[in-house]
Amino acid sequence: MGAARQRTLNAAIGCAGVGLHGGEKVAMRLVPAPADSGIVLRRIDLGGAEIAARHTNIVSSTMCTTLGDGNGVGVATVEHLMAALAGLGVDNAVIELDGPEVPIMDGSAAPFVFLIECAGIVEQAAPRRVIEVLKPVVVSEGARAIRLMPAAAFSLTFAIAYEHPVIGRQSCAIALVDGAFKREIARARTYGFLSDVDRLRGMGLVLGGSLDNAVVLDDDGVINDEGLRYADELVRHKALDCIGDLYLAGAPLMAHVEATASGHGLNARLLEALFADETAWRLVTLDEAVERDWPADQPIAATA
């Protein structure tokens, strides 16, 4: 589960790009934050309105995760940035934006990993807190499902299946240890199908989407000139999304996650189900969590 103390950025750092769905240009700056403040989104174009990056602030899960403050101020497409913060173990940061959406960059979490590493990460005096999952929690919708199980560290397995020659059935497993997120997951890009583009744009979505920030598939294969970054890039991106969505718990989850074709909406419902059952979790310091006497057959971590 990483360092025993909370961590933030060593220095502020910024970038600019377009929003995947709104298509608007947006500048973003990642700023160090005090211990126990968590991840906070700040709309500097709207007087500094702030939104805590928590599942209770999710206002939409259509094609991305959007957070709002209840007063009409929102930030869309937070999942890739949240995944990078989770994967690198950043507990506290302020995310300043001058627009309504986190820039999509290249469609993966890798640019955000690069920014965080350039800024540097420093430990803080306060102990790191984790959410220890105490019993299984599952939500499902037809063939799609996601489950949390008690475990001694965070790990995830994800599976998808499409009737498409490039995709078929794919699965991956990841444990957020020893740089595995950066190595195995961060570069996996969002993806979509060419046949859906006109319909989605008619709904006001993917207006900023292009071959520069998404893997696009037609009936026969990938139309991007560079091809895929991993043979199973699509399922790795779904795992990336899931990691980012689940970091909206407000602290790292001490759990093993099993997901089948889960999306943003189901990921959000899993967190709702977890916190609705007070017997299913407890908030503890990392030191307290690792002192637990785990059964020998308890899941520890998936292999990447």
Positions annotated as catalytic residues are: 264
DSSP 7-30: EEESS-EEEEEE-TTT--EEEEEE
Taking the C-alpha atoms of residue 171 and residue 288, their distance in angstroms, rounded to an integer, is: 33
CA atoms within 13 A on the CB side of 218: 4
Q: What is the amino acid identity at position 259?
A: A
CA atoms within 13 A on the CB side of 113: 23
Q: What is the dihedral angle through the alpha carbons of 195, 197, 202, 204, rounded to the nearest 10 degrees?
A: 150
Report the length, in residues, of the chain: 304
Helix axes of 233-246 and 264-276: crossing angle, nearest 10 degrees: 40
Taking the C-alpha atoms of residue 220 and residue 217, their distance in angstroms, rounded to an integer, is: 7
Asked if residues 59 and 67 have their Cβ atoms less than 8 Å apart, the reply is yes
β-pair partners for 43 = 49, 97
